[in-house]
Chain A
């Protein structure tokens, strides 16, 4: 069955510390994965997608098919990174399956 797992509900780090938000998936096909972010009082927005191998706001995510993971990383967290982060898997027909989300709190 298709599934996205984000094991951490809350991740708290200090400003300047490295951060890694974990995402594991279960999918029999070739996965297309995304990270979405929701800042306080704002709408859900796309952060990055694995297919483009881009870096947005200092965040990167590498698809590891062997470990079925797509962890989101940033070497130096900033306070403005505090938000809710969702990992999502795209299925045929445009359906997105979301993980439970991880709340990132970056403390000064």
Chain B
């Protein structure tokens, strides 16, 4: 099954700055997904990142605010730009694939971002 390493695990940032979150997978995957979990809320998909093409963003999320890179089949980054306190959330990456022989999606451990 895929193993995801996500970093940083947490950060406290000043408003107006940017933070880049990295997601490394131990196997090649076609699609990688970035989710946001705001305090007390459920997970919401930000965008889908395919290697070799631009990321596809969900309604309410734009590339200028959340630029994504996908340089190869095992790595992706999400940048939270020009941060405000409203961006304080947990950000998670996800890939398809779980236990061998099953079908599901694996999640990273998340990045807990606090904007002050």
Contact = CB atoms under 8 A, between A and B. Distances in A.
Interface in A71-108: 86, 93-101
Contacts of A98: 42-44
Interface of B: 31, 33, 41-45, 48, 56, 58, 92, 94, 96, 98-99, 102-110
Contact of B43 (A34, A45, A86, A94): A86
Contacts, number: 52
A100 B33 contact: no
A101 B110 CA distance: 17
B31, B45, B92 pick with most chain A CB within 10 angstroms: B45
Interface of A: 34, 36, 43-46, 49, 51-52, 86, 93-101
A93 B48 contact: yes
Grouping DSSP codes into helix (H, G, I), strand (E, B) and loop, the B interface class, with mixed when no group exceeds half, is strand
A51 B103 contact: yes
Nearest to A4: B42
A44 B42 CA distance: 12
Contact of A94 (B98, B105, B108): B105
Contact of A96 (B45, B102, B108): B45
B42 A46 contact: no
